[in-house]
Amino acid sequence: MATETLIPSSANRVLRVGILGFGTVGSGAYRMLKDNRDAIQRKVGFGMEVVRIGIRDIGKPRDLPSDLFTDDLESIVDDPSIDVILELIGGVDPAGRLVERALNNGKNVVTANKELMAKEGSRLVHLAKSKGLDLHYEAAVGGGIPIVQPLKHQLAGNDVLKMMGILNGTTNYILTKMSRENADFGDVLAEAQAKGYAESDPTNDIDGFDTTYKISILASIAFGKQVPVAGVYREGIRSITKEDIRYADVLGYVIKLLGIVEPLSADRLLVRVHPTLIPKGHQLASVSDVYNALWIHGDFVGDLMFSGRGAGSDPTASAVIGDLIDVGRNVAIGGQGSAIPWDMGIETEPIESLETEYYLRLRVKDKPKVLGQLAMIFGEFDVSLAAMEMRVVDAVAELGEIVFLTHKCNEGNFRKALAEVGKSDIVDRVCNWIRVEG
């Protein structure tokens, strides 16, 4: 069996590593181990040796010895000589089965798999804990931004009162580009795909699934209980137009796709993913292009911001190798693993219970008393209208466009009011509505 010692060691102990997946993240992790081997050795205290790399296409030419690779991934997690598995293939199957098998075989695991940890994290972390092993997953959220470890350790003494995150670089790039260039969503998406910032099938990003997995993981860590993916309200950015972005700018806001967590009680959370208007002065408002960020408000620490590149080979590899170094340090002292389990049993609230402000854009008949009639309809559902912008969009058809910001109100009531407004003969159509965070 071919092996390559990436970190020559003068000590007797060598940490033997198996890598599952050799795509963007896997190859980046391998390269970081090789390029930074001396610094890593000093920090761990002994060498690391990549023993096997699991791939799908065994026939694809590579620059490394061919017998280092195998398409038999089970043989890697079953190899008794391997100490640590880096799971970098993504998805739930076969990744979940392989991680579980590795843990049952006594191997520590480092994963970058957000979907797996969001859906199976509680079970797998409990398994690692029961075996006295490490299961680390910093790279699953935020790429190279250190978010997971601070939540598990440095911020563990705080009650998290709110979290808001820009957790997907593709959507942040699209919204930034639309804002800067007054461009349409479809055009910017096509450009993002051409540049490799968006997949050929962008559903996972633009419809909010990626952000949903990540905010579920962060909420599970912060509150110590698995937040079910099905309990996270989700909307994507397909409905956002350049008109909405322009109006938001006039009103003093920017539009971001946010993952948001708010505790309502000790065992009840409201977890949501959707486009959001945030004030230009908020720390998240200036996070642009493919950058990610997480804003946290803790009861003792106050406001914190973590920001950086949330994806890509090098940033994600940085998080993977950081976790691997932690595993190595724990092995060096004979530790029993540092997995911090999440329990089950948290309840998530429906989006209709949300209390917030709203942006609303309507196409209306350009006639007298329209504003008064709209205010009366909303008032019947305890929705109070605040700031307003209005312009004529079709003088011949006598149509105008009105943009409102509401005062804080209940979402269930707001939706009922919208339904009534949509039936009114003074409203041509409801163009869009977006939640607002102060």
HEC per residue, the chain: CCCEECCCCCCCCEEEEEEECCCHHHHHHHHHHHHCHHHHHHHHCCEEEEEEEECCCCCCCCCCCHHHEECCHHHHHHCCCCCEEEECCCCCCCHHHHHHHHHHCCCEEEECCHHHHHHHHHHHHHHHHHHCCCEECHHHCCCCCCCHHHHHCCCCCCCEEEEEEECCHHHHHHHHHHHHHCCCHHHHHHHHHHCCCCCCCCHHHHCCHHHHHHHHHHHHHHHCECCCHHHCEECCCCCCCHHHHHHHHHCCEEEEEEEEEEEEECCEEEEEEEEEEEECCCHHHHCCCCEEEEEEEECCCEEEEEEEECCCHHHHHHHHHHHHHHHHHHHHCCCCCCCCCCECCCEECCHHHCEEEEEEEEEEECCCCHHHHHHHHHHCCCCCEEEEEEEEEECCCCEEEEEEEECCEEHHHHHHHHHHHHHCCCEEEEEEEEEECC
**8 Å CB contact between 99 and 111:** yes
Using CA atoms, how far apart are residues 317 and 139, in angstroms rounded to an integer? Answer: 8
**8 Å CB contact between 76 and 20:** yes
Is 214 a catalytic site residue? yes
Using CA atoms, how far apart are residues 316 and 268, in angstroms rounded to an integer? Answer: 32
Marked catalytic residue, from 114, 119, 129, 214: 214
In angstroms, the Cα distances linking 53 to 2, 66, 374 are: 10, 10, 63
| Amino acid, single-letter form, for residue 129 | K
Residue with tokens 């390269």: 31
Nearest to residue 115, comparing CAs of 141, 136, 97? 141
Q: Which sequence positions are flagged as catalytic?
A: 214
